[in-house]
Structure 1
Amino acid sequence: MKKWFAVIGDPIAQSMSPTMHEAWLQQNEVDASYIPIHVPRGTVEEAVRSLKTLGCSGWNVTVPHKEAIIPYLDEIDPLAEAMQAVNTVVVKEGRLHGYNTDGVGFVASLRETFPEVEADAEILIVGAGGAAKGISYALCRDGFRNMTIANRTYETAEQLSDQLNASAMTLSEAEQQLAQFDIIVQTTSVGMVHSQEGSPLDVSRLKRGTIVADIIYNPLQTELMKQAKALGGKTMNGIGMFVHQGAIAFQHWLDIQPDTEQMTARIRQQLGGNSC
């Protein structure tokens, strides 16, 4: 039977995952399809049951279902378990295995873009939601030791920092101490197309040469990135993270390493530019 894969979310029309995975399936001559499926909030259990019954070989999970899907899986990878978030499901012999490839995808993109980064770099994570959790856990697992979580609500930052043995501060405190950080990772939706405009952080105290990574990729350059670049910062958007997390999912499903370099260039062109 022909294999098929999917991505589920609410909303789902904006997802670029079908474009990416369909291209990889064709490039690797895999007789399979990848489709987007709109799964409204509160209907994850029914969706999982239907996907399994209809013979889906695996699927990606996007907002708002990354946590809600966990009770309906048979096994969860230790990293996804620690994060309490799943973005990739693999069907093996009728059992559903959950993984989270988001954070690992970010680390792969960071190391690819800035191979000079060292494990003792001082890292500021802006935000304390699901994306921040995935990235911070993956950075810890990759050997990065010095991390600070900054969030508008201090208690939320403190909860995540306690889990990671990291530091916590408010956004205003982070802005005052910005010069101490070597890498800043922006994980909120501020600056995203169709979301809140502007920048989540005042970077006027940014030191020259600081890496500023924004996981948003539409637009290609957020206001935060523009401001950081004007002050001598090195910037990176979220295209690499998106492509690498997808590539890791593709490997889980098919044991094939897809071409991430070509896909990154393709998505950047599709979004209308070359900015990073």
Structure 2
Amino acid sequence: MEIKGSTNIVGLIGHPVEHSFSPPMHNAAFEKLNMDYAYVAFNVKPNDLESAINGAEALNIKGLNVTIPHKIEVMNYLDEIDEVAQLIGAVNTIDFKNLKGYNTDGIGAVRAIEEVASIKNKNVLIAGAGGASRAISFYIAKYGADNLKILNRNVEKAQKLANDVSNSGLIDNVGFDSINNMDLSDVDILINTTPVGMHPNVDDTPIAQACDMHEDLIVFDAVYNPNETGLLRQAIEADVKPVYGIKMLLYQGAESFEIWTGKKAPIDVMQEALTKYLGL
């Protein structure tokens, strides 16, 4: 990559950012398309967030991804928020053309799942009620799921998220329950947004072995380290279609790329760079 006086800068703000997968993925895409762009990670402490946004705008930075701990607070410094990002209550992508915030986490999950099957008219069960679940839930609703049910250890948290999604008007049927009451018999798509199964507890799963996976089920695990989680191993052993967490990383990055540049992201190139960086 050649950095020139004309090079457009995009990047990531968060704290910390040292282990981000985004720079190699995006820079591989820019190189493939021969675009005069470079992607850089910026470590921004919480007290410096407003200054960072103002500085990025002054420096003519074209776009930023936003990660922990800034996804909510950054909304205070933007001129416009995408409708679904507003519902989610968090932003992970900024386009400086109009200082507009987006959330591509949910669309990343949806695009990953829709490699296997359409979400439209499906019964979807989501394990977890945290930030990832919130982002995914609104997009699942937007993409036409028939029923959505949210399970969590803290049932009140699941109920609050279910109520928020229901009140959005994007979907009519939203339920909630304890994660201990998981029943997959009528579920078309199971989504895990909990950290259960993440390294180093790679053999843990968010569901009991007694929860039978039927042959038409699709199982998506947002955990990507390890690539093949305990939940996905269960799915493979049950001859059920698995969707890997790395795909969500890939597609949320591709969506950001397309927002900033207006060009179609080279998915194959980005996936190759991502898997290489993550050692998969």
TM over 0.5, shorter chain: yes
238-247 or 38-47, larger mean C-alpha shift: 38-47
Residues 232-260 of structure 1: per-residue CA shift (max 9 Å, x gap): 32211112211111111111111111211
Are the counterparts in 2 of residues 125 and 132 from structure 1 also a CA contact under 8 Å? yes
Partner of 2:170: none
**Measured at CA, do residues 64 and 200 of structure 1 come closer, stay the same or move farther in structure 2, by a change above 3 Å?**
farther
**Measured at CA, do residues 45 and 118 of structure 1 come closer, stay the same or move farther in structure 2, by a change above 3 Å?**
closer
Q: d(CA) in 2 for partners of 1:145 and 1:233?
A: 21
Q: d(CA) in 2 for partners of 1:193 and 1:55?
A: 38
Q: d(CA) in 1 for partners of 2:21 and 2:34?
A: 20
Map 1:95-244 to 2 at 5 A. Answer: 95-112=98-115, 114-115=116-117, 117=118, 119-165=120-166, 166-174=174-182, 177-193=183-199, 198-209=204-215, 210-244=217-251
Superposition deviation, residue 170 in structure 1: 0.7
Are the counterparts in 1 of residues 94 and 101 from structure 2 also a CA contact under 8 Å? yes
Structure 2 counterpart of 1:17, one-letter code: S
Q: d(CA) in 2 for partners of 1:63 and 1:204?
A: 35
Map 1:246-265 to 2 at 5 A. Answer: 246-265=253-272
Structure 1 alignment gaps of length 5 or more: none
Partner of 1:13: 18
**Measured at CA, do residues 96 and 153 of structure 1 come closer, stay the same or move farther in structure 2, by a change above 3 Å?**
same
Partner of 2:171: none
Residues 250-274 of structure 1: per-residue CA shift (max 9 Å, x gap): 111111112113422443354344x
Are the counterparts in 2 of residues 104 and 245 from structure 1 also a CA contact under 8 Å? yes
**Measured at CA, do residues 66 and 179 of structure 1 come closer, stay the same or move farther in structure 2, by a change above 3 Å?**
same
Structure 1 counterpart of 2:193, one-letter code: T
**Measured at CA, do residues 206 and 120 of structure 1 come closer, stay the same or move farther in structure 2, by a change above 3 Å?**
farther
Are the counterparts in 2 of residues 60 and 87 from structure 1 also a CA contact under 8 Å? yes
Structure 2 counterpart of 1:215, one-letter code: A
Superposition deviation, residue 195 in structure 1: 7.5
Q: Percent identity?
A: 34
Superposed CA RMSD in Å reads: 1.9
Superposition deviation, residue 78 in structure 1: 0.5
Are the counterparts in 2 of residues 192 and 218 from structure 1 also a CA contact under 8 Å? yes
Q: d(CA) in 2 for partners of 1:83 and 1:250?
A: 21
**Measured at CA, do residues 46 and 192 of structure 1 come closer, stay the same or move farther in structure 2, by a change above 3 Å?**
farther
Structure 2 counterpart of 1:190, one-letter code: V
Superposition deviation, residue 197 in structure 1: 6.7
Question: Does 2:34 correspond to 1:29?
Answer: yes
Residues 202-256 of structure 1: per-residue CA shift (max 9 Å, x gap): 2432222221100122211112211232233221111221111111111111111
Larger relative contact order (Cα-Cα within 8 Å, sequence gap ≥ 6): 2
Secondary structure in structure 2 of the residue aligned to 1:179: coil
